[in-house]
A = this chain, B = another copy of it.
Amino acid sequence: MGKKRVTLADVARLAGLSTTAASMILTGRPDTRLSPEAHKKVHDAAASLGYRPNVAARALRTDKSRSIAFISDYVATTRFASGLIRGALAAAEEAKHVMLLLETGGEPAREIQAVEAALDRQVDGLIFAAMRAREVFVPDMAINVPVVMLNGTSARFSSSVLPDEYQGGRTAVEFLVRAGIRDDIVLLGHNAQQEEGLFRSEAISNRLRGIRDAMSDAGMAFLAEVSCWNWEPNFGYELTRKVLKTHRPRALLCLNDRLAFGAYQALGEAGLRIPEDIGLVSFDNDEIAGYLRPGLTTIGLPHEDMGHRAVQRLLEGPLTPGADLLAMPAIWRGSLPEKQA
């Protein structure tokens, strides 16, 4: 089976024309003066031979490879990562591009390697995605292709795609109001006293700003705010137990679903019913949110949209600067009461 690939020269030969003609016709040049018969002959020849252009050869000449690189600090962690990747992949496919995936672990050395590997392959653009960090992590190299930041920002590259955390924060509060809960709400995961000090990230600070603005707009205030440094279920569990010792909240506003999951466990042990005795709203729309009983009402992250949008921006004409804020989908499930006061 030593049959080589079909080249443009083969097509041209079969069509009885030059490779120039074949190339112009197949790439669909507009201004060409080649006859309709020539077009037909070339297309027929290409079809009958099953011709596929060699992308490497084309890239060599045109400096366009119809491929982009998705450079991420982490790939495996959450559904968030795969959502971004999937959205990006879909947009790339729509634009007939392929996507290189590269993971850096947030390590500068690997970041540099990743960028070099991508640039060596003549990619047409770079997506820098952040799962954990938010700021400054683009290696300081000569990058002469468009770059879009995804779920992160950079001083050097201002084009970015981010979730609209501020609006998301507001929505969470609006959900509480819609459920008729205006008092005795505990904020789980953050503490105003510490807000100045350890900042989680700009994203979370926007989320909190949205929450606080919506609260004060509605004339509401938290019953309490409790904080922990790690937003995992067992922290949510412990925090909730601690809260229940001194307070009797009507609702918990959790800063992510894993905290809320821990809260469910503690509330279940305490014999409190959701949502009759206590309501919950949360953020992220993790997989578990749908698994809980009752389902967890949560403000999700628009993973796929974000990935999709980032690639779209990268590939659609000239790159516009500035951030693109994508709406966070609000998912109403059973953890907030339907109406009532």
A residues at B contact (CB < 8 Å): 1, 3, 52-57, 59-60, 65, 67, 70, 75-77, 79, 81-83, 85-86, 89-90, 93, 98-103, 110, 116-122, 142, 144, 232-234, 237, 258, 261-262, 265, 268, 287-288, 291, 293, 304
A-B contact pairs, 24 of them (CB 8 A): A1-B142, A54-B60, A54-B122, A55-B121, A55-B122, A56-B56, A56-B59, A57-B60, A65-B121, A70-B101, A76-B85, A89-B101, A93-B102, A93-B110, A98-B102, A98-B117, A98-B118, A99-B101, A99-B102, A100-B101, A233-B291, A261-B291, A268-B268, A287-B288
Q: A144–B5 Cα gap in the complex (Å)?
A: 10
Residues of B within 8 A of A3 (CB): 142
Beta-carbon nearest neighbor of A116 in chain B: B52
Cβ contacts under 8 Å, A118 to chain B: 98
Complex Cα distance, B110 from A262, in Å, reads: 41
Contact among B81, B110, B122 for A56, CB-based, below 8 A: B122
Q: Are A56 and B67 in touch, CB under 8 angstroms?
A: no
Copies in the complex: 2
> Which of B77, B99, B120, B288 lies in contact with A288, CB distance below 8 A?
B288
Contact partner of A98 (CB less than 8 A), chosen from B60, B89, B121, is: B121
Q: Contact check, B75 vs A76: say whether CB atoms are below 8 A apart.
A: no
- Shortest CB distance A202–B (Å): 25
B89 with A237: CB separation less than 8 A: no
Asked if B52 and A119 sit within 8 Å, CB to CB, the answer is yes
**What 8 additional pairs, Cβ within 8 angstroms, besides A56-B57, A75-B86?**
A56-B122, A81-B82, A85-B101, A89-B102, A234-B293, A265-B293, A287-B287, A287-B288
Distance to closest chain B CB from A129 (angstroms): 13
B residues near A233, Cβ cutoff 8 Å: 291
Q: Is B55 touching A120 in the complex (CB atoms < 8 A)?
A: yes
Q: Closest CB of chain B to A151's CB: distance in Å?
A: 16
Measured in the bound complex, the distance between the Cα atoms of B60 and A35 in whole Å is 32
Bound-complex Cα distance A211 to B195 (A) = 52
Say whether, besides A56-B59, A59-B56, A258-B291, A76 and B65 are in contact (CB < 8 Å): no
